[in-house]
Structure formats: structure tokens, C-alpha cells
Amino acid sequence: MVRYGKLPWVWVSILVIMIDQYTKYLTVKYLPFQQLVDVIPGYFGWLHTYNYGAAWSFLADHSGWQKWLFAGIAFIVSIVLVVWLTRLKGTKVTWLAIGLALILGGALGNLYDRVVLGYVVDFICAHWQTNYYFPSFNLADSAISVGAAMLIIDMLFFAKKREKSD
């Protein structure tokens, strides 16, 4: 018998990838490169940038080997997440399954950019007045962050309850 676990939640991953890639397409097509377009002046805007490294441009200034390192990590993490989803069972793991699916979609959205383009397209810029700019990010990064937060919340509040009821 084939066991799928919570693999059907991969539709969330597919939705994340589609929306992420579409917003990156719009960014490249319509936003001027490296020019802030204020949406909420002093707090939030669009900033079309390319990230050759990982989070906050970590290792971006290296010769290009980091592209394959981060692509490999994303690929391995994606396989682990798919296996994890297939092994989930029961009705009380929906929160966890959605968190894993968000991380998977974000990882694959950025993996596509990294492998096909050689960099990740970022465009969301949070800033406070003009003194501090949070590094630009994209919807895949947001999905990864929300999914990771969901995993942490699951570990802190739901995992022990599930173990007791099983």
C-alpha cells in the first residue's frame, strides 16, 4: 500500500512557487533596478535587487561557488520536507503540514531563481525613515519565514499534546 501522509498539502507549495515566480516576473518587468519605490513612505517600499548569496546576501561577494552550495542545500532540504510530509499521519498535524509546505514552496521558488538565473530576485523592502533598511526579500523568503514560525509554534504548543493523545 502506498502511503502519502500529508503530501496532498504540497498544493500549498505549488501555490507559493506560482505566486513567488509571478511577483518576481512583475518585479523584473516593471520595477527599476535598485531604485526604491516608496509604498508607505519611510516604512515600506519596492526595491528590485538581486541576491547572489543566501539570507541577507551572506557570501554574495564570492566567486560563484556559493550558488551551487545554496542550490544543493535547498534541493536536499526539499527532499527532506517531502519525505517528512509523507510520514505525517493523523488529523492533528495540519498546522505542521502547512508549515512544511510553505517552507518547501519557498525553498523551491528560490532554488529555481538560483539555478536558472544565477541569483534570487528580491523586491520587498522594509525600512524605517531613511536610516535603516532591512535587507530586501521576496515572497519565497516570506513563505519560508512563516513556515519556520509555524514549525516553532508546533514544537512549543502542539507536539506534546499530539504525543499524549497518540
Which of 135, 83, 103, 112 is CA-nearest to residue 16?
Answer: 103
pLDDT at 104: 97
Express each pLDDT in 84-110 by its tens digit.
Answer: 999 988 778 889 999 999 999 999 999
Percent of all residues in the chain with a pLDDT value above 90, rounded to a whole number: 55
In a domain, 14, yes or no: no
Q: Which residues are catalytic?
A: 122, 141
Residue 23 has a CB neighbour count (10 Å cut-off) of 17
**β-pair partners for 46:** 37, 124
DSSP, collapsed to helix, strand or coil, labels residue 133 as strand
50 is a domain residue: yes
Q: Measured between alpha carbons, how far is residue 14 from residues 34, 36, 76, 101 in Å?
A: 29, 30, 18, 9
* 75 within some domain: yes
Number of domains composing the chain: 1
Residues paired with 51 in a beta bridge: 120
Please check whether residue 88 lies inside any domain of the structure: yes
Cα–Cα dist 87/97, whole Å = 10
pLDDT in tens, 6-16: 888 999 999 99
Count of alpha carbons within 13 Å of 98, Cβ hemisphere only?
Answer: 9
Q: What are phi and psi of 88, to 5 degrees?
A: -70, 140
For residue 21, being part of any structural domain is answered with no
**pLDDT tier at 66 (50, 70, 90 boundaries)?**
low
> Does residue 3 belong to any structural domain of this protein?
no
Question: In this predicted structure, what is the pLDDT of residue 4?
Answer: 74
Task: Look at residue 1 in the predicted model and tell me its pLDDT.
Answer: 39
| Separation of alpha carbons 147 and 84, rounded Å | 14
DSSP per-residue string spanning 19-70: HHHHHHHHHHHHSPBT--EEEETTTEEEEEEEESSSGGGTTTTSSSHHHHHH
Domain for residue 28, yes or no?
A: no
Domain range spanning residue 98? 44-165
Query: What's this model's pTM, rounded to 2 decimal places?
Result: 0.86
Tell whether 4 is covered by a domain: no
**φ/ψ (deg, to 5) at 133:** -115, 120
